[in-house]
Chains A and B, each alone.
Chain A
Amino acid sequence: MITTSALTKRYGAVAVVDGVDLAVAEGDRYGLLGPNGSGKTTLIRLLLGLVYATSGDIELMGHPVPRGLDAVLPQVGALVEEPSAYGHLTGRTNLAILDAAGPGGARRTRRSRIDAALDKVGLAGIDNRPVKAYSMGMRQRLGLAAALLRTPRLLVLDEPTNGLDPQGIREIRDLLHQLNTAGTTVFLSSHLLAEVDQLCTRVGVVNQGRLVLQSDLADLRTPTGRVIVATPDADRAAALLDGHIEHRTGDRLLVRDTDPAALNARLVAAGVRVEQIAAERRTLEDVVLAVTRPGSDRVDRPDDRR
């Protein structure tokens, strides 16, 4: 669906996107993570042909970008940074302008397209207020409606849940799930780990313009080789497992062991009551923090750097 090779964008001497090899397959829910200023938005602009690459290649749905954009973009819905609309016009008029501006779709069916899109994002009952009177969450929903207007095969969304409340975030997540089940590939960027964790099947992590990690989410959550045990008999368990305890807080033990089932049997056999036992797994947060550095919005004094 999306393939880039050695994609690089320089502004002067600074490489904002640096040798990125992205691979998004059809049907993926792909989450692009990275600190602020790591190049996520520039990468998205490159994919959509808004910004031209310094070097490297991009392919979307088998067409080269930017040369094949005319064939590609009608099948893409996008939200790039914040949504925008003509503030003095209503949401419906804004969608109508956007619908009429590009190719495809009869004028006759425009109204039903707009209604369907508004319905999906929860704005079906929208009144005739101008967009400048909308709340941030409503603007975000309108932006999503614009992206969905042409029932795209690929959705490219930059921070899609920005400005939404927890309820709204949940709604949008469910919507994206639904669309994905119906065959739409979803590619989204975010700096919210939880959002990506709950929605995506595949993640890419960018740091200072480089793609430092790209993997299926399931593969990232590997066991760490430790088991978490919670027991009211923590002292006895600690004595029994002497030498294997890495850490103890109250009645929670972190045990170096790879087989929780065997460990459980052993504890129970020794008369230790086990409340909880599970293999410790890496979280997305652990993985991402291990491969990224603080975002560009953090500026340390030079002598603080080591």
Chain B
Amino acid sequence: MIGVELGKVGRRPRTWVSIGMLCALPALVAIFLAVTERGPGPGEEPAFLSAVLANGALFPAAALAIVLPIFLPVAVAVVGGDAIAGEASAGTLRYLLLRPVSRTRLLIAKLVSLVAFVLAAVVLVAVTSFIVGITLFPSEPAAVTSVSGVTLTANELVARIAAAVIYVAVSMLGVGAIALFLSTVTDSALGAALGSLAALVTSQVLVTLDAAGAVRPYLPTRYWLAWIDLFRDPIPWRDIDRGLALQAVYVAVFLAMAWANFATKDITS
């Protein structure tokens, strides 16, 4: 079933359109930057962009920072929200269950294909932006300066970007799990996607609000930017660890809810 599900996601034009757009946005930013050579000041958002002008090899990190806040979570919410609700509204859900595919296995297959989508999207963003970075900017992959001012070797850089890719992908799993849960609740894929985006926006508003300090450590977007720490020396692991643990909790809770709901639900679509 997992293979079938991956095949279905891979055959959907929508998958590739959204990944293409994810890759195009950083490229667009890079073009503007290369033409005008006017970067944001050091320390301003998006992260790393000021450093890219000096060394294009760092552009994958900047690209991740560009797609992370809005574009990537929207894509994940759309794919996750479509998982069960899309099958339900197309009427294919009942025929899959009658085949028979057990409800638990269907949910697992949907989760695996969602994870595969997230990974493919983040990896492709990193790869294309690396190519874009070294073509448009002067670059020395062997001598990237970390945020703390220490020079990184090429191997170190690749390892840290790979780690950042994994961290960003894991950060998206929380949203994915929320979208997947909502997808089992409603028969409308759009409703599920918008619902999980509403949860994200709420979280992002509360993260910036001092008055909400008490709940801040538990918000799903709280540690989203912690991967920037991977480019410091020495790496402060505290926020990264917490970010991973927090996503694990969100994934566990919402998957359990999705499973409990889906396994006992009347399929009337």
Contacts and interface: CB of A to CB of B under 8 A. Distances in A.
Contact of B92 (A51, A78, A86, A103): A86
Nearest to B100: A73
A88 interface: yes
Contacts of B90: 84, 86-87
Chain A facing B: main interface SS? loop
A89 interface: yes
Nearest to B97: A50
B10 interface: no
A101 B101 contact: yes
Given A84-B94, A100-B3, A102-B101, 8 more contacts: A50-B268, A51-B268, A52-B264, A70-B100, A80-B95, A87-B90, A88-B12, A89-B11
Contacts of B13: 88
A70 B98 CA distance: 10
A101 B4 contact: yes
A255 B207 CA distance: 89
Interface string A78-110: 101111111111000000011011110000000
A76 B98 contact: yes
Contact of B98 (A51, A78, A86, A89): A78
A81 to B, nearest CB: 8
Nearest to A48: B98
A97 B94 contact: no
B95 A45 contact: no
A35 B162 CA distance: 62
Contacts, number: 66
A74 interface: yes
Contacts of A278: none
A123 B264 CA distance: 37
B267 interface: yes
A69 interface: yes
Q: For this complex, into which size category does the number of interface residues on chain B fall?
A: 20 to 34
A146 interface: yes
Interface of A: 45, 48-52, 69-70, 73-74, 76, 78, 80-89, 97-98, 100-103, 146
Contact of A45 (B1, B4, B267): B267
14 contacts: A45-B266, A50-B97, A50-B267, A69-B100, A70-B102, A84-B92, A87-B90, A88-B13, A97-B7, A102-B1, A102-B100, A102-B101, A103-B100, A146-B95
Contacts of A80: 94-95, 98
Contacts of B12: 88
B38 interface: no
A84 B86 CA distance: 12
A50 B265 CA distance: 8
B238 interface: no
B235 interface: no
B98 A50 contact: yes
A70 B13 CA distance: 33
Interface string B5-20: 0011001110000000
A146 B13 CA distance: 25
Interface in B80-98: 90-92, 94-98
Nearest to A150: B99
A97 B95 CA distance: 11
A35 to B, nearest CB: 20
B264 A74 contact: no
B43 to A, nearest CB: 47
B100 A97 contact: no
A253 B146 CA distance: 105
Contacts of A103: 100
B6 to A, nearest CB: 11
Given A97-B4, A100-B4, A101-B1, A84 B91 contact: yes
Contacts of B98: 48, 50, 73, 76, 78, 80
| A-B CB proximity, top 4 nearest | A84-B91, A102-B99, A73-B100, A50-B267
A49 B99 CA distance: 12
B50 to A, nearest CB: 44
Contacts of B94: 45, 50, 80, 84
B236 to A, nearest CB: 46
Given A84-B92, A85-B92, A52 B266 contact: yes
A260 B98 CA distance: 52
